Homo-oligomer: A and B are copies of this chain.
Amino acid sequence: MARPDTCVNIAEKLAKVTEHWSPKTVLEANGLEFKAVKVKGDFVWHNHPEGDELFIVVKGELTIELKDRPSVVLSAGDMFVVPQGLYHKPYAAQECEILVMDPPGVVNTGAASSSLTADEEWI
């Protein structure tokens, strides 16, 4: 799907997301993909050798555990970059709405294939 040439409203896209941990691509810029994601509970430890992963929290609170580094706790309006290759595990006690930016082709669970691995899909 080509990059939309109309504006994309983040809340409208997130409202269409019905499953947790199932990123939906909403926009592409400079070869990077922005994905709307709803998360709740524990994700799996994984990494992305393809590049950095940017998290922007839209609603709620997201904890990201990081290998050999202190965890970070992100609230609405917070941005955080998980550096390329670094193992991390997101967690949200309550449902949390986020925007994630990745290089194309990145799988949500990295190489850690699990029941939470999602196919790429645009909304």
Contacts and interface: CB of A to CB of B under 8 A. Distances in A.
Contacts of A5: 69, 81, 83
A1 interface: no
A92 to B, nearest CB: 15
Interface residues of A, number: 32
A3 B81 contact: yes
A101 B11 contact: no
Contact of A34 (B8, B10, B79): B79
Contacts of A54: 27, 29-30
A13 to B, nearest CB: 9
A112 B15 CA distance: 40
A80 interface: yes
